[in-house]
Amino acid sequence: MSILLDRETRVLVQGITGRVGRAQTRWMLEYGTNIVAGVTPGKGGEEVEGIPVYGSVAEAVTERRAEASVFFVPPAAVKDAARETIKAGIGLIVIVTEHVPVHDVMEIRAFVGDRGVRLLGPTCPGIITPGQAKMGIMPGNMFRPGRIGVISRSGTLSYEICADLAEAGLGQSTAVGMGADPVVFTGMPELMALFEEDPDTDLVVLVGEVGGTQEENAARFIARRMTKPVVAYIAGHNAPEGKRMGHAGAIVQGNMGTAQSKTAALGQAGADVAQYPLEVVKLVQKRLASR
């Protein structure tokens, strides 16, 4: 089993006719993703990798029964594309696009309301259910099927840690890149709740980093509701105070948001926190052995 995405999910690629959209569509298809349509305004009637292109999301939903969408569109187009996609009834949206204005993200979140739509991103590598399907830019060769759920704020760190887990024979049920912007659509606690309810996930790995409060929020969820073991790694312990970091979400506020505060909060909540990436494998093996 998996969360959010499997081999049957009918995927729509927005921005499919662009350079990045074309390349990522090819790689997603090669991995096994069930891509049924693409959308680029004004390009309806074309094909990319044998996939029909439509001029609107509504057409793709009507003609191809698309139910999930991944965005490879410019930052300025994300808000309108998201509103159109939500109105069309798509239930899962993955926004890979970087540099989306924070105010646009907040407007999209408000527009979703109680429609039951799940959005990931922005600035995220996407989601992968190893051996079944992927939406986004995650390199499929670094993952393998298994029973470890992974949630990460960092794309490259998630690749490294999942590759280490895979090499040790510890596959993943689903790996989710949630995005690293100051405001994201779906937070760590919401994703942890999905893994908590998944009967085929035995343990959850959190990959966090300096800045923001996602990991502190996750610690509160672990303490109150999580019954499955959690192993975490927080990047940024040696980040110099006051230094501007690469990710837009790497903002420290008072005593919140430092790697030290996140590590302490997660440890107090009952998670095992690795001091370096490769230690994640050892801690996962230890927790599974003790179950």
Task: Clarify whether residues 115 and 145 are in a common domain.
Answer: no
Task: Clarify whether residues 151 and 282 are in a common domain.
Answer: yes
Active site residue 247: yes
The pLDDT, as a whole number, for residue 216 is 93
Count of structural domains, the chain: 2
Domain limit, last residue, from 62, 89, 120: 120
Is the pLDDT reported for residue 179 higher than 70? Answer: yes
For residues 130 and 173, give the distance between their C-alpha atoms in angstroms, rounded to a whole number. Answer: 7
Is the pLDDT reported for residue 48 higher than 60? Answer: yes
Domain of 92?
A: 11-120
Is the pLDDT reported for residue 130 higher than 60? Answer: yes
Least reliable range by pLDDT among 178-187, 214-223, 263-272: 178-187
Task: Clarify whether residues 196 and 259 are in a common domain.
Answer: yes
Task: Flag whether 64 is in a domain.
Answer: yes
Of the residues 99, 103, 237, 247, only one is catalytic, namely: 247
pLDDT digits 0-9 by tens, 213-229: 899 999 999 999 999 99
The pLDDT, as a whole number, for residue 154 is 85
Write the CATH number for 157.
Answer: 3.40.50.261
Is the pLDDT reported for residue 149 higher than 60? Answer: yes
Task: Flag whether 67 is in a domain.
Answer: yes
Task: Flag whether 28 is in a domain.
Answer: yes
Average pLDDT over residues 177-183: 86
Query: Which comes out higher in pLDDT, residue 256 or 278?
Result: 278
Task: Clarify whether residues 157 and 69 are in a common domain.
Answer: no
With a pLDDT cut of 70, the percent of the chain lying above it is: 92
Average pLDDT over residues 159-167: 96
Average pLDDT over residues 261-287: 94
Could you identify the residue written with the tokens 């510890």?
170
Is 129 buried (19+), middle (13-18) or exposed (0-12) by CB count in 10 A? buried
The pLDDT, as a whole number, for residue 106 is 94
Strand pairing category for 11-14 and 35-39: parallel
What does residue 190 show for φ and ψ, rounded to 5 degrees?
-65, -40
Task: Flag whether 61 is in a domain.
Answer: yes
The pLDDT, as a whole number, for residue 183 is 83
3 state SS for 72-102: CCCHHHHHHHHHHHHHCCCCEEEECCCCCCH
Task: Clarify whether residues 155 and 226 are in a common domain.
Answer: yes
